[in-house]
Amino acid sequence: MSNDTGVERTLVLFKPDAVARGLTGRILARFEDNLLKVVAAKMVWMDADLTRRHYFDLEERFGAEVYNLMAEFMQSGPVIAIVLEGVEAVACVRKMVGSTYPDQAPPGTIRGDFAHMSKAYANAHGIAVANLVHASGSPDEAEHEIGVWFTKEDLHDYPTVAQQYLR
């Protein structure tokens, strides 16, 4: 969802490392503190089909090895999928999350504060980069990804107290 008011929806996945470390509440609070509204949420174990639908172009862009490592990681534990709504939500969430590689994410970002893995370490050990969250990269990507994870009936529209500031 994007409209002329700048309000967008974006997908965030709390990856298995975030769930296992008990960080989901702390991370979610950061999004809500920034006036992002949760409009859908669910916890799932990703299977091969859902992994392929979500990461449909990963293998083409980065090769089978990267795809397989990511698939193994994402299927290693439960994932919490949420849809956030807010002003320029995609860019806001990406800024809050920080660099894909946690060792390059500045302090104050989610990855900079809670993760520590580098690309070099992951490559040397043949593992995926444990970086806590996935965040849609663009409004078009967000629309596609939300459709993979949620139906229209799963998405909720409701007023929040903070919306009085979004006129």
Give the catalytic positions in this structure.
134
- Pairwise CA distance, residues 134 & 75, whole Å: 14
Local structure of 38: helix, strand or coil: strand
Joined tokens for residue 44: 């799932």
Residue 73 corresponds to which tokens in the numbers above?
């990681």
Interhelix angle 89-97/139-149, rounded to 10 degrees, is: 90
